Amino acid sequence: MSVEKRVGSGLAGELRFLRKERKLTLQVVCDQLRWPQSKISRMETGQQGVTLADLASLLTVYDVFGKERERLLHMVDRQDDPGYWETDVSPTGSRTLARLEPEATAIVDVEPLLVPGLAQTAAYAAAVMKAAHLPPEQVGPRVAARMARKKILAKKVPPKLDMVVDEIALRRVVGSHSIMAEQLRAMIAVAKRPNVRLWVVPFDLGGNAGLHYPFYLMDFLHAKSIVLLEGTTSGVFLEDDERIGIFRRHAAELVRVALSPNESVHLVATLVGEHERECGDDERQDLAEVELQRCERELRGVGGVRGGAGR
């Protein structure tokens, strides 16, 4: 398998990201290393393999040292693998996803068991991570990183997002009923964005439709599409066209049997009420406090907008 199969998620994409992050042109880097511009260009587009010596030279120019340098140097031996297997996930989550996701023009998030990450609340995300037995010191940073990912939905030109979710993920209690009620309200707000569509696969069809495992499909303007198969502490990024086609067809089939976006939002709203009715007295108090905090944030936001307009 050629390096070309993994341009975005593999070492080639890492090198392109590092150079651009440091705002260095090809000319500047090549002048320092006395290389022709075509050499780095071919490395960054996957047309040429990267040797250990060349990578070490580039990392010196980019001031990459310590554990990050070691991580990238270890990628040399695996640059021909058919998929990039990221095992050294940082305390804040996948570095590769953090690099790729902001560049995506379209995303399909298929989730049989959980609310999609870009729609999760902090309380829900924390409950998920605690249930996965993550070290307590990693929960806070990972939740913060997940919340920061949502910024892509508010970009001037945000990606198109299709969330395909099994109904059971919306009914299953994660944390508490009050957390679920808050979570589903937030999910409705995300689903009402003009660039977002929510597709809920009814409970009685989920298994028959093949909604058995999660996957995250990202499309890009000038790069190959990528599918992420993510676990708690590792993830596999696939770029092979044939495999991408399988996941794309699978997503299309799930959308075909799912409720329409309007029907899906209506179902989620109904489930908010069901979770609220199951709340105990303490949970109802928590829910009231959450709603009060939300209203206060909205009021502060309105005040901020008016102040800005006055200036």
pLDDT range class, residue 172, cuts 50, 70, 90: very high
Q: Which residue has the higher pLDDT, 68 or 154?
A: 154
pLDDT range class, residue 305, cuts 50, 70, 90: very low
Do 181 and 275 touch, CB atoms closer than 8 A?
yes
Indicate whether 165 pLDDT > 80.
yes
Question: Which of 9-23, 53-67, 215-229, 232-246 has maximum average pLDDT?
Answer: 215-229
Instruction: Please tell me the distance from the alpha carbon of residue 57 to that of residue 214, in angstroms, as a whole number.
Output: 39
Non-local (6+) Cβ contacts of 133 within 8 A are none
Instruction: Please tell me the distance from the alpha carbon of residue 228 to that of residue 238, in angstroms, as a whole number.
Output: 6
Measured CA distances, 170 to 131, 144, 188, 196, 205 (Å): 17, 22, 12, 18, 15
pLDDT range class, residue 120, cuts 50, 70, 90: very high
Measured CA distances, 137 to 129, 156, 233 (Å): 11, 34, 15
Instruction: Please tell me the distance from the alpha carbon of residue 311 to that of residue 49, in angstroms, as a whole number.
Output: 54
Tokens describing residue 223: 């790069």
Note the pLDDT tens digit of each residue in 191-217.
Answer: 999 999 999 999 877 566 678 889 999
Q: What percent of the chain has pLDDT over 70?
A: 80
Tokens describing residue 26: 């090809």
Do 237 and 96 touch, CB atoms closer than 8 A?
yes
Query: Can you tell me which residue has the tokens 């298994």?
Result: 207
pTM for the whole structure:
0.72
Q: What order of strands is seen across the sheet that includes strand 235-238?
A: 83-86, 235-238, 226-230, 215-220, 104-111, 160-166, 196-201
Q: Which residue has the higher pLDDT, 117 or 75?
A: 117
Note the pLDDT tens digit of each residue in 259-297.
Answer: 999 999 999 999 999 999 998 765 666 655 665 566 566
Q: Which residues pair with residue 46 across a beta bridge?
A: none
Query: Can you tell me which residue has the tokens 């250990």?
Result: 52
Instruction: Please tell me the distance from the alpha carbon of residue 201 to that of residue 263, in angstroms, as a whole number.
Output: 11
Window from 9-13, 132-136, 177-181, 286-290 with minimum mean pLDDT? 286-290
Domains and CATH numbers, the chain: 3-81 (1.10.260.40), 95-279 (3.30.870)
Window from 97-101, 148-152, 236-240, 307-311 with minimum mean pLDDT? 307-311
Q: What percent of the chain has pLDDT over 90?
A: 43
| Number of residues that make up the chain | 311
Pick left, alpha or beta for residue 23 (phi over 0 → left; psi -120 to 50 → alpha; otherwise beta).
left
Structure confidence at residue 248 (pLDDT): 95
Window from 1-10, 12-21, 67-76, 121-130 with minimum mean pLDDT? 1-10
Q: Which residue has the higher pLDDT, 178 or 48?
A: 178
Indicate whether 99 pLDDT > 70.
yes
Q: Which residue has the higher pLDDT, 2 or 97?
A: 97
Map residue 97 onto helix, strand or coil: helix
Q: Which residue has the higher pLDDT, 57 or 247?
A: 247
Mean pLDDT of the chain: 83
Indicate whether 174 pLDDT > 70.
yes
Question: Which of 71-80, 94-103, 107-116, 287-296 has maximum average pLDDT?
Answer: 107-116
Do 183 and 286 touch, CB atoms closer than 8 A?
no
pLDDT range class, residue 78, cuts 50, 70, 90: low
- The values of phi and psi at residue 90, to 5°, are -75, 165
Measured CA distances, 225 to 70, 153, 184 (Å): 27, 19, 30
Tokens describing residue 55: 């990578």
Structure confidence at residue 81 (pLDDT): 59
